[in-house]
Amino acid sequence: MKEILYHLENVGVCYRHFSILRQHRDGEIWALKDLSLDIFRGETIGIIGRNGVGKTTTLRLFANIISHDAGVFECYPKRITMLSIGAGFDNYLTGRENIGLNGRLLGLTKKRIGEVIESIIQLSELEEFIDLPVRTYSSGMRTRLGFAIAYYADPEVLLLDENLGVGDEAFQKKSTALIKEKLASVNQTAIIVSHSIPLIKEICSRVIWLENGRVQMVGIPDEITRAYQEYVRSSCPKIANTRVNLTK
């Protein structure tokens, strides 16, 4: 029997607007409505849909960054990581010191950090700069360091928003290959938000298509992506013609 990591029954997430001038609630927007699904250990789930339909909100819900406002949401994994995000950096600490700090925030033990720190430094390609304060790093350098730490965090669930690759073109190729290799693990679970249909079809075992905050379809990648592409072409022809990565 498959192990359930997430269980959702009629889940809704509401964003409320408050008017300072009127001093009362100005309105409600339900970003997610009536989501019902299970996600099992070992699955690689792709989430597709147009901009503004609730994809990132769904990912934040799975990451426990936001809470639900309706329905039942059960989250069983304890180690959840969003790859390519370098949250928790202290600008006045060195890159090496931030590996320790950020690694602990992502659930790595002190012993494990000691075992992988040189590998993290090598993956980030920051050997010459690792003992400089992070405030001296460019945004690309910070991103590479954040990705390298997160890659070695060994989470139960990987959450990826929009792009697998981070940094410059060469690092993007390397990071994308590494993530694909990680996703090949039998017990690794991942939830990926992306507009890249070829990528979704290549690495996902199941796809969720969101439309207006609701689940439009759930199923195997070929079937769901085909239906989604046909929908985009018929309802948004201009977008379909300019969005090369939908048909590539």
pLDDT in tens, 44-96: 999 999 988 999 899 999 999 899 999 999 999 988 887 655 556 899 999 99
Structure confidence at residue 245 (pLDDT): 39
Say whether 82-155 and 4-78+190-247 share the same fold: no
pLDDT at 21 over 80: no
Q: For residues 211 and 48, what is the distance between their CA atoms, to the nearest angstrom?
A: 9
* pLDDT recorded at residue 167: 65
In the chain, % helix, strand, coil (3-state, to 5) comes to 40, 30, 30
CA distance 75 to 37: 12
Provide the pLDDT for residue 165: 58
Whole-prediction pTM: 0.79
In the CATH hierarchy, which top-level class contains the domain 82-155? Answer: mainly alpha
Residue pLDDT, tens place only, 92-123: 999 999 999 988 888 889 999 999 999 999 99
- pLDDT over threshold 80, residue 231: yes
Angle at 22 between CA 20 and CA 23, to 5 degrees: 60
Q: How confident is the model over 124-166, as pLDDT tens digits? A: 999 999 999 999 999 889 888 988 998 888 888 989 886 665 6
Angle 80-7-1 (CA atoms, 0-180°, nearest 5)? Answer: 95
Question: Which fold does the domain 4-78+190-247 belong to in CATH?
Answer: Rossmann fold (3.40.50)
* Predicted pLDDT of residue 186: 67
According to the model, what pLDDT value does residue 173 have?
A: 82
Query: For the chain, what is the mean pLDDT?
Result: 85
What integer pLDDT is reported at residue 160 of this predicted model?
86
**Where do the structural domains in the chain lie, given as residue ranges?**
4-78+190-247, 82-155
pLDDT at 134: 95
